């Protein structure tokens, strides 16, 4: 391990962050969002009970299957709509959870809703089959072809199956990001195709005025959230600021920085470390948004991001021309100075993960010695943004530690092979003796981040003081 150290002041502990770096979103917002999700599921169960679900389930074998089938269908429906709301970029939800946490919850809710959907199909088929001589397959075919809205519901199931299968980590890694993103849009198609079935044949959806108002209200809320925050707000923000590419910089082989300018950028509420979804008009693939973090603290005049060429979309950034119009969604993410809790900060980056942490370094209110940046790289000679990072650190009296080499393979570790004989926690304490008294910001590959978070927790850093952003879906 090697280090580049700039001027350092005597250590101070127990400092309180200035008001400008206080948490941007109250914790109760996060708690409120979580409570609302549980209340929706409880209300759906109450609708099932009030509609005679228990009585039907205990009346006969067919009634048992049909009643449980209706309940699992209602649960699946509400969870599908919660999925849509989770990823609708609703500002207070996004600021409360951050994209990493939202993505994890989106996956959990998605797989749960799909499992309940399959249970709904099986139970309903068993219930109807119990009163016919068609058998399971014949009953299922009859349901799909004969009942109103069922053919559309079957198409919805196929669309959602495509989304779920391609969301499995092994399948996701085998797909290009652009292909995965296109397939994932079928989730909206699946949710939309399910509506006629629910309204035409779903007795539990229309059994009372309360049920009708609830379901229509939830569908409308999901639709309006997508239109407002995924379509309306990005268009309004892009037109307001009139963003264009002003400069494209080849930093080093396989690494490009893009500078975007526009009007009234000082009114754009963005902090160093956050990311935007970028679209570049007039170039191939402009319809697909790409998530890139800011690689410099916003100055009110420009936005700067740096991209590693890891796919067709990211490599195409190098071919952008000045004057290209830009559409953006964002800013997103909780990896920014607004979540800081302590005066002293440790920034830990792996590879391209240094870009948002460089922006945070430049955005932090700090005194010399307050900030340490640890950057794990494959090769110190080709370290990304080395000159810019070192210059920013030197100007602020921060310390930069470079940890070069291939990562340990024999165990889950954040260390390089050259330091495989060291304990992860002891190594972290060696580099940053007062790590337990700091906020820790982490960005990089998921496995490396998991190792860093584990080491930081074992070194005494509270979970609330660890802030992460992963470059993985």
pLDDT given for residue 179 in this prediction: 65
| Sheet (strand 244-252) strand order | 244-252, 255-261, 302-308
Express as a percent the part of the chain with pLDDT over 90.
Answer: 37
pLDDT given for residue 13 in this prediction: 33
CB 320 within 8 A of CB 245: yes
Of residues 440 and 378, the one with the higher pLDDT is: 440
Q: Residue 249: pLDDT band by 50, 70, 90 thresholds?
A: very high
CB 466 within 8 A of CB 457: yes
pLDDT (average), residues 344-370: 94
pLDDT tens digits for range 270-317: 999 999 999 999 888 787 888 899 999 999 999 999 999 887 778 889
pLDDT tens digits for range 190-230: 777 776 676 666 666 666 778 888 888 888 888 899 899 98
Of residues 174 and 56, the one with the higher pLDDT is: 56
Would you tell me how many other CB atoms lie within 10 Å of the CB of residue 65? 20
Query: Cα(first)–Cα(last) distance of the chain, in Å?
Result: 30
Tell me which H or E stretch contains 37.
Answer: helix 27-50
Would you tell me how many other CB atoms lie within 10 Å of the CB of residue 42? 10
Q: Which of the listed ranges 59-63, 178-182, 356-360 does the model predict with the highest average pLDDT?
A: 356-360
| Contacts of residue 108, Cβ cutoff 8 Å, sequence gap at least 6 | none
pLDDT (average), residues 399-407: 92
Q: Tokens 């001027």 label which residue?
A: 7
**Is the pLDDT reported for residue 6 higher than 70?**
no
**Is the pLDDT reported for residue 16 higher than 50?**
no
pLDDT (average), residues 460-471: 86
CB 454 within 8 A of CB 424: yes
Would you tell me how many other CB atoms lie within 10 Å of the CB of residue 138? 13
Of the given ranges (37-46, 107-116, 184-193, 264-273), which has the lowest mean pLDDT? 184-193
Domains plus CATH for the chain?
Answer: 2-21+336-470 (3.40.50.80), 27-237 (1.20.120), 242-332 (2.40.30.10)
pLDDT (average), residues 389-411: 92
pLDDT tens digits for range 22-66: 344 556 666 776 788 788 889 989 888 888 889 988 889 999 999
**Is the pLDDT reported for residue 15 higher than 50?**
no
Of the given ranges (10-14, 25-29, 319-323), which has the lowest mean pLDDT? 10-14
**What sign for the dihedral angle of Cα 270, 271, 276, 282?**
positive
Q: Residue 5: pLDDT band by 50, 70, 90 thresholds?
A: very low
**What sign for the dihedral angle of Cα 326, 279, 290, 269?**
positive
pLDDT given for residue 432 in this prediction: 95
pLDDT given for residue 17 in this prediction: 36
Mean pLDDT of the chain: 83
Tell me which H or E stretch contains 435.
Answer: none
pLDDT given for residue 296 in this prediction: 94
Q: Residue 12: pLDDT band by 50, 70, 90 thresholds?
A: very low
| CA gap 168, 34 in Å, rounded | 25
| Contacts of residue 1, Cβ cutoff 8 Å, sequence gap at least 6 | 401, 402, 403, 404, 416, 418, 419, 427, 431
Of residues 192 and 333, the one with the higher pLDDT is: 333
| CA gap 352, 389 in Å, rounded | 12
Q: Is 420 helix (H, G, I), strand (E, B) or coil?
A: coil
| CA gap 99, 97 in Å, rounded | 7
pLDDT given for residue 279 in this prediction: 92
Give 83: exposed, middle or buried? Use CB within 10 Å, 0-12, 13-18, 19+.
buried
pLDDT given for residue 162 in this prediction: 77
pLDDT given for residue 402 in this prediction: 94
**Is the pLDDT reported for residue 143 higher than 90?**
no
Taking alpha carbons only, the member of 305, 298, 275 closest to residue 362 is 298
Of residues 372 and 130, the one with the higher pLDDT is: 372
pLDDT given for residue 200 in this prediction: 62
Instruction: Using alpha carbons only, give the angle 3, 5, 10 rounded to the nearest 5 degrees.
Output: 130
CB 211 within 8 A of CB 47: yes
Of the given ranges (168-182, 317-331, 365-379), which has the lowest mean pLDDT? 168-182
| Sheet (strand 439-444) strand order | 2-5, 399-404, 371-377, 345-350, 439-444, 466-470
pLDDT (average), residues 420-431: 93
């Amino acid at each position: 391990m090697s280090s580049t150290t700039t001027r350092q002041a005597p250590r101070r502990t127990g400092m309180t962050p200035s008001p400008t770096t206080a948490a941007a979103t109250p914790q109760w917002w996060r708690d409120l969002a979580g409570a609302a999700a549980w209340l929706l599921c409880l209300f759906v169960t109450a609708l099932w009970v009030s509609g005679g679900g228990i009585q039907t389930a205990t009346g006969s074998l067919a009634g048992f299957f049909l009643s449980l089938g209706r309940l699992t269908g209602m649960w699946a429906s509400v969870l599908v709509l919660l999925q849509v709301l989770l990823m609708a970029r609703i500002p207070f939800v996004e600021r409360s959870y951050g994209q990493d946490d939202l993505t994890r919850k989106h996956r959990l809710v998605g797989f749960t809703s799909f499992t309940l959907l399959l249970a709904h199909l099986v139970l309903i088929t068993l219930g109807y089959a119990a009163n016919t001589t068609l058998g399971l397959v014949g009953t299922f075919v009859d349901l799909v072809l004969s009942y109103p809205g069922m053919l559309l519901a079957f198409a919805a199931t196929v669309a959602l199956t495509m989304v779920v299968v391609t969301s499995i980590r092994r399948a996701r890694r085998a797909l290009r990001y652009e292909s995965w993103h296109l397939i994932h849009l079928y989730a909206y198609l699946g949710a939309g195709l399910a509506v006629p079935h629910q309204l035409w044949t779903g007795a539990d959806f229309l059994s009372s005025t309360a049920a009708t108002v609830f379901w229509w209200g939830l569908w409308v809320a999901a639709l309006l959230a997508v239109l407002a925050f995924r379509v309306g707000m990005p268009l309004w923000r892009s037109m307001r600021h009139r963003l264009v590419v002003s400069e494209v910089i080849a930093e080093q082989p396989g690494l490009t920085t893009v500078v975007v300018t526009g009007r009234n950028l000082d009114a754009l509420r963005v902090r160093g470390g956050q990311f935007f979804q970028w679209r570049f008009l007039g170039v191939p693939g402009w319809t697909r948004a790409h998530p890139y973090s800011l690689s410099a603290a916003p100055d009110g005049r420009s936005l700067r991001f740096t991209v590693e060429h890891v796919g067709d979309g990211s490599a195409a950034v190098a071919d952008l021309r000045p004057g290209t119009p830009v559409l953006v969604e964002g800013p997103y993410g909780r990896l920014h100075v607004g979540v800081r809790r302590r005066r002293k900060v440790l920034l830990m980056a792996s590879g391209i993960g240094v870009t948002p942490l460089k922006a945070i370094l430049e955005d932090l209110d700090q005194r010399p010695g307050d900030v340490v940046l640890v950057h794990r790289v494959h090769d110190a000679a080709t370290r990304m943004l080395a000159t810019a990072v070192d210059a920013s650190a030197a100007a602020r009296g921060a310390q930069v530690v470079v940890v070069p080499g291939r990562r340990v393979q024999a165990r889950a570790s954040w260390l390089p092979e050259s330091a495989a004989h060291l304990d992860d926690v002891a190594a972290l304490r060696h580099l940053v003796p007062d790590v337990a008294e700091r906020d820790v910001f982490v960005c990089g590959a998921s496995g490396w981040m998991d190792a860093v978070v584990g080491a930081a927790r074992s070194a005494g850093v509270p979970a609330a003081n660890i802030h992460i952003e992963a470059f993985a879906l």
